[in-house]
A and B are shown apart, each in its own frame.
Chain A
Amino acid sequence: MNGLVKDLTGLIGESKVLFQPEDLLAYANDATHYFRTQPPDAVVLPTSTEEISRVLSYAYEHYIPVTPRGAGSGLSGGATPVKGGIVVDTKRMNRIVEIDRANMTATVEGGVVLQNFHRAVEKTGLFYPPDPQSMSVCTMGANVATRAGGPRGVKYGTTGNYVTGLEVVLPDGSVIKTGGKFVKQSVGYDLTRLMTGSEGTLGIITKVHVRLLTLPPETRTMVVVCESLDQAAEIVSEIIARGAVPSMMEFMIKLAVTVMNTFVFPPLPTDGEAYLLMEIDGTAAQVEHDAETIKAICRDMKAREIREVEDERVARVYWKARSAMYPFIMTIFKRAITEDITVPRSRIPDLVRAIQEIAASVGIMIGLAGHAGDGNMHPTVLQSEINEEIAAKAKQAIDMLVRRGLELGGTISGEHGIGIHKQEYLDWELDQVQIDLMKRIKAAFDPRGIMNPGKIWVEGGQQ
């Protein structure tokens, strides 16, 4: 046992410290296993804010890098250590502290798995909409840290729209409480918002207060089969413009549907070029009204087919398959890199066309699915072999996708975060003045640069 491990054991107990190489290997990667990382020297599994505080003040004192981690399901490399040090696994901090019906708020520890929280909240007739597609495993503290979102973003927004307060352990081990259960506050800088999306570079989120909605009593799922990608993109714009906002509105190309069909029964139709999978929610009357509006729009715009999914169990199967789209793709390809470019909604047809052009000009396959309703598309660069030539093409395609997204007035990341994956594009989107300001904020929180070093900006950023 080396000095670090001995010290950590002294701080939080033997059963909460991992140091054998077989265990460290498991904490070297997240869902992106293709970045160069450096396995940690130790992993800690704290069960309280107090324990995290002890570990951080120790790390701070000794200038040891710290990488916070939830489920390790992220797609940006955010939870992977690139400088070794200590990984703080927050998954054992998994208590739902309270669900407050009267105030329609909830308080949870950072390691609560989102799906468990959904279940608990929905049992009381309330609703927490954010739905990153890894919700069966991802944790709420990490959702805040990455500003995670999902299909429901179109109608309900993402994690950031629900967080009202946080408990955070700062890099030197001190603990702050920002915001609270109240839904409005006008006191000083909004540190809650600053921590939201901070990707573990400013501190570790140990407690989260969120606001809740009432659970919509009815939902209905519809599938629209479109003749072309353009037609699908235009239908999306028209539906939103007419105010019939679905709770989820997913755009898929034929390849995505074909892959999904190997796992769902009954299969989805595959005779179109593009598909919209939608859910409408609300009271029975609202759902009926919105469904009629959407059907009328699809008919007017000459969609190939409009299918309502009557059986609720079947609808659940479709949505579950949609959430597993990323791993599904791996049944066919050796590597799949999923982007999350987000453009103003009206530019979706342009983005869809651009993606097709880029795929053709680079000579690589790009799968396409996305949360069309909020302009957030997931072009996925697909690699059938792993070799330098294909990797270079993939890189070229991603560069072009990012560039085009920005030209269309969009952003390089709608919901995955920057992490390692997007750091070289950061200054494509943000000007130097803004990046420098961010770095000064980082230095104010973390003058020794121990928190999740090597993320967001390219090397040197944490000084």
Chain B
Amino acid sequence: MLKLENYQEIINKCSHCSYCQATCPVYLEDLLESHVARNRLNLINQVLILRTMPVSQRFREILDRCLLCTNCTQTCSSKVPVDEIIIAARAEVGKGTLGGLKGFVMSKMLKQRGLTGLMSKAGSLAQKIGVAREMPQLASKSFDQIYSGTIPAQGEQRGRVAYFVGCGTNFLYPDTGVAVVEVLTRNGWEVVIPDGQVCCGIPVIAEGDLAAAREMVTANLKVFDLDSVEAVITDCTSCGMMMKEKFSKLLDADDPLQEKAQALAGKIFEVTDFLQQKGLSETPPALDKTFTYHVPCHRGWSPTVADAPRNLLGSLPGAELRELEEPERCCGAAGTFFMQQRELSESIRSHRLEQIEASQADTVITQCPVCRFYLSAGLTSQQVTHPVILLAQAYGTVQP
């Protein structure tokens, strides 16, 4: 389990070098040392481990002002898992489950699919009561109402993969899911969509609700028949990070599902990363697009996931990839963070929007549905989409 007591030793691996200042989106906004990883860790150590300081309002604030984007950990030579330590600290000071509308959405809806109608009511309610000015609109038809079961490969079958459909794709962007199925099957992969999938758990661990997360992990692990598939595909880098790095840690060491969690970690691939590694059966003829690439923050779980869209799309005839000045800079969305820390998120996003404008691309690709939503909401003339959708367009199976 992500318990703070398991991280005491690891916290001391922080050499205090301060290199995390270079990539922390929150620190780069306010330049306050209290908001950067080395000092968050030191503070957590003092307050929750050594108990030399009380749990104060300011302490909670400092814990809350973390996006869990993992940029510090990716920069850290000692690879201190700062996100996990923050989550464990939030769990410790939260001591309970969430209440209110957010609690309802988190604890009930993300654990069940087929509640889309209810979900959209909650969404419009949230807008009405001013929880969030910018709130994603739910798709009129969720992905699970479009595709389910097994979809056969087109042409000669190269193998069989399972598809983990994240909440972002299911509720907000079913077009990503459609493109995933189209492109995978076109490339000879039979796609199985197991019934009974639920949220990967990332929204609830961000709140420190580890019990809810464990329920989701358990439910998800039960629905996959890992032996029958070559890989488990996700289109979302955050779901991917959860399955690769966190599922096993959310279970007790002696949990009977532990072995399965580790097997899943070995089989999980982001869709473009998988296609890149396996190779396309047939290169699409052309892609008439000038696009740029916003690399999602949750990329650290695969060394190749950030280059996959570049490699698959960048060399297609007619395609022009215009790199952003800092391809890996955060957009400020971070799950539901942008609803809770509106000003901070908008400020983080503003730099990103400027860089996108400067790229003069008309399309932005990214493998994270929350980045997709949040960037779209800030942009006026550019379209934000998933790279697999562009790939499907290049094949001509999906119309632009």
Contacts and interface: CB of A to CB of B under 8 A. Distances in A.
B16 A22 contact: no
Given A26-B33, A115-B22, A31 B16 contact: yes
How many A residues are at the interface, by size bracket? 35 or more
A26 B19 contact: no
Interface string A4-29: 00000000000000101111011101
A85 interface: no
Interface in B75-118: 76-79
Interface stretch (B39-47, B177-185, B289-297, B332-340): B39-47
Given A21-B53, A327-B15, A26 B42 contact: yes
Contacts of A115: 22
B15 A137 contact: no
Contact of A326 (B12, B15, B43): B15
Nearest to A24: B34
A91 B53 CA distance: 27
Contacts of A182: none
A66 interface: no
Given A326-B17, A330-B13, A26 B78 contact: no
Interface in A396-448: none
Contact of B78 (A21, A137, A331): A331
A327 B78 contact: yes
Contacts of A91: 31
B18 A330 contact: no
Contacts of A94: 31
Contact of A324 (B14, B19, B39): B19
A136 B34 CA distance: 18
A92 to B, nearest CB: 5
Of A21, A26, A30, A324, the most chain B CB neighbours within 10 A belong to A26
B78 A72 contact: no
Contacts of A30: 16, 18
A134 B78 CA distance: 15
B59 interface: yes
Interface in A43-102: 45, 71-73, 89, 91-92, 94
A324 B18 contact: no
Contacts of B43: 22, 25-26
Given A327-B76, A331-B77, A20 B58 contact: yes
Contacts of B78: 327-328, 330-331
A330 B18 CA distance: 13
Nearest to B326: A119
Nearest to A116: B22
A33 interface: yes
B272 to A, nearest CB: 20
- Interface residue SS majority, chain B: loop
Given A26-B39, A327-B77, A331-B78, A71 B21 contact: yes
A108 interface: no
B263 interface: no
Of B15, B31, B32, B58, the most chain A CB neighbours within 10 A belong to B15
A336 interface: yes
A217 B81 CA distance: 39
A18 B15 contact: no
A329 B14 CA distance: 11
Contact of A22 (B12, B59, B76, B79): B59
Contact of A18 (B18, B32, B76, B77): B32
Contact of A327 (B19, B34, B36, B62): B19
Nearest to A138: B18
B56 interface: yes
A302 interface: no
Contact of B79 (A33, A71, A331): A331
A31 B22 CA distance: 15
Contacts of B79: 331
Contacts of B14: 330
Interface in A323-339: 324, 326-331, 334, 336
A89 B77 contact: no
Given A25-B46, A26-B42, A331 B58 contact: no
B39 A25 contact: yes
Contacts of A31: 15-18
A328 B77 contact: yes
Given A27-B33, A45-B31, A45-B32, A136 B19 contact: yes
A18 B34 contact: yes
A73 B43 CA distance: 18
A92 B31 contact: yes
A23 B15 contact: no
A180 B62 CA distance: 42
Nearest to B60: A22
Of B22, B46, B53, B58, the most chain A CB neighbours within 10 A belong to B22
Contact of B32 (A23, A113, A329, A331): A23
B204 to A, nearest CB: 26
Given A22-B58, A136-B22, A331-B77, A33 B16 contact: yes
A89 B13 CA distance: 26
A89 B15 contact: no
A443 to B, nearest CB: 32
Of B18, B21, B39, B59, the most chain A CB neighbours within 10 A belong to B18
Contact of A89 (B12, B33, B39, B46): B33
A190 B19 CA distance: 34
Nearest to B61: A22
B33 A22 contact: no
A331 B19 CA distance: 15
A134 B19 CA distance: 7
A327 B16 CA distance: 8
A331 B13 contact: yes
A263 B36 CA distance: 23
Contacts of B53: 21-22, 25
Contact of A134 (B13, B18, B36, B76): B18
Interface of B: 12-19, 21-22, 31-34, 36, 39, 42-43, 46, 53, 56, 58-59, 62, 76-79
User: What are the 10 A-B residue pairs with the smallest beta carbon separation, nearest first?
Assistant: A327-B77, A26-B39, A330-B15, A136-B22, A26-B33, A26-B34, A324-B77, A137-B21, A327-B17, A73-B18
11 contacts: A22-B34, A23-B33, A26-B39, A134-B18, A134-B19, A324-B17, A324-B19, A327-B78, A330-B14, A330-B78, A336-B15
Given A45-B31, A331-B79, 10 more contacts: A22-B53, A23-B34, A25-B46, A26-B43, A27-B33, A30-B18, A45-B32, A94-B31, A327-B15, A331-B78
